[in-house]
Amino acid sequence: MKCLKISLAVAAVAVFCSPAMAVHLDNPNLLADPSFEGTLTFDGPPFVGTWEGFNAGGSSTADFTTNMPRTGAQSLETNIGADANLFAGAFQDARFGFGSAGAMAWFSGWHKLVGAAGGSEIRIEWRDSVADVEISRTPNLTTSPVGAGYEEFIVSSSVPAGANTARVVYAIQSFGGALNQQVFVDDVNFNVEGVPEPASVALLGLASLALVGMRRR
Ligand SMILES: [Ca+2]
Ligand SMILES: [Ca+2]
């Protein structure tokens, strides 16, 4: 039992002492399945815990594929064929709780182009999950990948008052004319300054109890 307590204390130190990363990755990732290794759903809410796909039908599709992973076995594949006014993408809701107004938040990831460039729409839709309303949304990041390898994208924003949820969206569209493209997306991250992931909270809680136990000896 003593060994368990010591190992938990060491784990807590490791959490506090993890090496500095790029600023947009500094906080715990609040997205489930950030590497698209599970299943893309098309079954409506809830949108927390899994990715939900959407498309315009016809030659537009969104799916998880083993074709072009950046890491793991799968990536998200969005695809629109040679027609105008198509769209395809996926989104997920990440909960961070009320009380983060003004804190910085980041939605980042990696995307890779096959076919015609342009048409990416990457954004955060800020929501109040209790009232089930959208508060506001970031402008679309429309920087599309240019081809060859995976390229990083980053949407940064401060959390607006009244929001407890971020709906992170990756979509491609051909509203401006036919594009005939596929975009692969992998290794996404959404985090909010000062918001820990539930698992870290539980671990720190256990470690604190272990330290209290050690002091009492
Ligand atoms: Ca992956
Ligand atoms: Ca769903």
pLDDT of the residue at 9 = 44
Return the percentage of the chain with pLDDT > 70, whole number: 81
Q: Is the pLDDT of residue 147 over 70?
A: yes
How close is the Cα of 148 to the center of ligand 2, in Å? 32
Of the ligands numbered here, which is closest to the C-alpha atom of 73? Answer: 1
- Give the Cα separation of 36 and 89 in Å (integer): 13
Domain extent listing, the chain: 1-20+196-217, 29-195
How close is the Cα of 49 to the center of ligand 2, in Å? 8
Q: What confidence tens digit (pLDDT) does each residue in 59-99 have?
A: 999 999 999 999 999 999 999 999 999 999 999 999 999 99
Q: What confidence tens digit (pLDDT) does each residue in 105-125 have?
A: 999 999 999 999 999 999 999
Q: If you average pLDDT over every residue of the chain, what do you get?
A: 88
Q: Is the pLDDT of residue 49 over 70?
A: yes
Question: pLDDT-derived band of residue 16, with 50, 70 and 90 as boundaries?
Answer: very low
Give 1's contacts (C-beta < 8 A, 6+ positions apart).
none
How close is the Cα of 35 to the center of ligand 1, in Å? 4
Q: What confidence tens digit (pLDDT) does each residue in 190-205 have?
A: 999 999 876 555 555 5
How close is the Cα of 100 to the center of ligand 1, in Å? 29
29-195 in CATH: which number? 2.60.120.260
Question: pLDDT-derived band of residue 208, with 50, 70 and 90 as boundaries?
Answer: low
